[in-house]
Amino acid sequence: MNVVVCVKQIPDPAAPQSLDASYNLNRSGKLILDEADTYGVEMALQLVDKAGGGEVTVVSMGSADDLAGLRNALAMGAAKAVIVSDDSLRGTDALGTAKVLAAAIRKVNPDLVLAATESSDGYTGTTPVQLAELLGMPSITFAKSVTVNGDTLAVERQTEAGYDEVTAPLPAVVTVTAGVVEPRYASFKGIMAAKSKPVEILSVADLGLADQVGPAGARQAIVDVVTAEARQAGEKYVDDGDGATKIVAFLESIKVL
Amino acid sequence: MTLNALWVVVEPANGSLTTTSLELLSHARTLASSVAAVTWGTGDHAAQAGEYGATTLYSVGDLAGALPGAPVAAAIAALAASESPDAVLVPTSYDGRDIAARLSARLDRPVLTNVTGLVDEGGLVTEHPIFGGTQIARARFTGAGPGIVLVRAKSFAAEPSGGAPASVVTAPAGELGAEGAARITATHVEERQGPKLEEAPVVVSGGRGLGESSRYALVEEAARLLNGAAGASRAIVDAGWVPYSHQVGQTGKTVKPTVYIACGISGATQHMVGMKGSKNIVAINKDPDAPIFQIADLGIVGDVNTVLPSLIEALKSRAS
């Protein structure tokens, strides 16, 4: 079974974020593999292992100047990486991203496409399902567990009340929630092997999507960015064994107790 | 009003429309002269949809076990071919995101997500909190065709307009290919004690500062003693300590309780956006410089594994 995992190299979420003059997220610093994507990579590796054959391909869009994030996925065990990288992609929205990923994924022709429920920088959370629609595939979002039986998928999908058991024929797109599997650490051997694994870099022209990406393809514009009303910090105490008493007194003052 | 028509996707749950659906209907009617709602399933929601401002209720009908995303999006896309709403508003929920994303690809129109405000400035302008809610990005759609908007829960108040029941119009999904092939075969309801996270007047949330997963039980006990709900930061959900349904933040739930007690949560921007609307915030954290203290009404600089057990003891002795 061949599995594609959509991954994203993002600025470190712990570092301060800023916007550039075109209101795009500043991505000039070091990029890392979105931690949310490591669960999909791990799940893909486990599914291919259980199927007894096939390989995992990671597919991405973004700058190819720094490929450390993709190498990380390769070091975990993915066989190859495909990244669509092009200056004209700057300012591409979620739907444009889905078009780019769909075109790249068609070339791989996988049995299953996995993605995180959303990226940790943009948080739109729509790209995987837009991708499924463009690929003409069923999609199951918010998977807690994924099992493949022949050409059918069985997924436990998170709901407000608990979870649903959902089935779909392959090929399909599934988004996985974080924490459902324990992503493996890359071994030294894996890190060394990743250096010689293939990374294919595609341009927008290679995919024939020239007029559908970038700010023009996004068909949305930022009007402005304003400062939100700030919340004021209140009182702060160092706990001298009276922390709990202070909390109880506070809860009494707001009539919660 | 420069907006003619807004459509609102209204989600059925337990025989009623969800609160977020009603919030969207309430706000839509302040923006547009005509508001229509779109729903699915076998329930009758005409009275409730009308009460909150919809004049028409399009119903996709029984989905026969299909996940709603593909069929509901197909039905809306078919309607949008002859009608032309300015925008389709969709609640940010598990199924809402599927519907909005499918509809976007079908109509070849963008989705604006994580929206917490909608205003009319000679056209629809959407408001998105960014960088942990410290700034608001305001955006609008360009080009021809309806915009698609995913709105976060609790962005608006749900207020009935006293409108008459909406007139129900059948809106079939039509034949779907593989896109619509995902089927629900069983539904599991997890037993939940106490109030729901989004509705609880008190939320006690735990983070990495607890040190290990077993100590989350302290958070749950404090929540129970305060008749509240237990929440979590993304860090401990990702670490597998607690299920995703407990997650508060950008990627999880938005809560606005009377008091939010953050235990061992440093206050990553992604967490703050989900709870900074709380009426009161209490934070317990070892690090005096933790960002959570910048928004806390009461900050306790200390070890959560000391403070929380004493708080539990104090609450227990009050109860007895």
> Nearest by CB to A233, which of B259, B293, B301?
B293
Express each pLDDT in B241-270 by its tens digit.
Answer: 988 889 999 878 999 999 999 999 999 888
User: Residue B193 pLDDT > 80, yes or no?
Assistant: no
CB contact under 8 A, A248 and B298: no
Alpha-carbon gap: B51 to the closest alpha carbon of chain A (Å): 25
Share of chain B above pLDDT 70, in %: 100
Express each pLDDT in A31-54 by its tens digit.
Answer: 999 999 999 999 999 999 999 999
Express each pLDDT in A55-104 by its tens digit.
Answer: 999 999 999 999 999 999 999 999 999 999 999 999 999 999 999 999 99
User: What pLDDT score does A27 carry?
Assistant: 87
B 192-251 residues with CB < 8 A to A? 201-202, 226, 234, 237-241, 243-245, 250-251
Express each pLDDT in A222-238 by its tens digit.
Answer: 999 999 888 888 999 99
Express each pLDDT in B262-315 by its tens digit.
Answer: 999 999 888 998 999 999 999 999 999 999 999 999 999 999 999 999 999 999
DSSP class of A252: H
**ipTM computed for the complex:** 0.94
Least confident stretch, A58-62, A217-221, B192-196: B192-196
Architecture of the domain spanning B202-319: 3-Layer(aba) Sandwich (3.40)
B 301-320 residues with CB < 8 A to A? 301-303, 306-308, 310-311, 313-315, 318
> Which part of chain B has CATH 3.40.50.1220?
202-319
Cα B117 to Cα B11, B27, B114, B152, B171: the distances in Å are: 20, 10, 9, 9, 29
The 8 Å CB, 24+ separation contacts for B154-158 are B154/B20, B154/B23, B154/B198, B154/B254, B154/B256, B154/B277, B155/B23, B155/B27, B155/B115, B155/B116, B155/B117, B155/B118, B156/B23, B156/B24, B156/B26, B156/B27, B157/B23, B157/B26, B158/B19, B158/B22, B158/B23, B158/B25, B158/B26, B158/B52
Q: Are A111 and A138 in contact (CB under 8 A)?
A: no
Q: Work out the mean pLDDT of chain A and round it to a whole number.
A: 94
| CA gyration radius, chain B | 21
> Which part of chain B has CATH 3.40.50.620?
3-180
Q: Does A250 touch chain B (CB under 8 A)?
A: yes
Question: What value does the mean pLDDT take over residues A142-166?
Answer: 94
Q: Are B92 and B151 in contact (CB under 8 A)?
A: yes
User: What distance lies between CA B3 and its chain's CA centroid?
Assistant: 25
CB contact under 8 A, B141 and A220: yes
Residue of B11, B92, B95, B98 to mutate for A, most A C-beta atoms under 10 A: B98
A 162-221 residues with CB < 8 A to B? 162-169, 172, 177-180, 182, 218-221
User: What distance lies between CA A53 and its chain's CA centroid?
Assistant: 25
> Nearest by CB to A239, which of B245, B276, B307?
B307
Q: Does B164 touch chain A (CB under 8 A)?
A: no
Write down all domains in chain A, each with its CATH number in brackets: 3-218 (3.40.50.620)
Whose CA is closest to A96, among A67, A134, A66, A59?
A: A134
Express each pLDDT in A137-150 by its tens digit.
Answer: 999 999 999 999 99
User: What pLDDT score does B238 carry?
Assistant: 83
User: Residue A24 pLDDT > 80, yes or no?
Assistant: yes
Tell me which fold the domain B3-180 belongs to: Rossmann fold (3.40.50)
Whole-prediction pTM value? 0.93
Whose CA is closest to B185, among A163, A140, A148, A166?
A: A166
Q: Is B63 helix (H, G, I), strand (E, B) or coil?
A: coil
Q: Chain B contacts of A33, Cβ < 8 Å?
A: none
Q: Chain B contacts of A233, Cβ < 8 Å?
A: 293-296, 299
User: Residue B192 pLDDT > 80, yes or no?
Assistant: no
Express each pLDDT in B80-133 by its tens digit.
Answer: 999 999 999 999 999 999 999 999 999 999 999 999 999 999 999 999 988 878
User: What pLDDT score does B1 carry?
Assistant: 65
Alpha-carbon gap: A219 to the closest alpha carbon of chain B (Å): 5
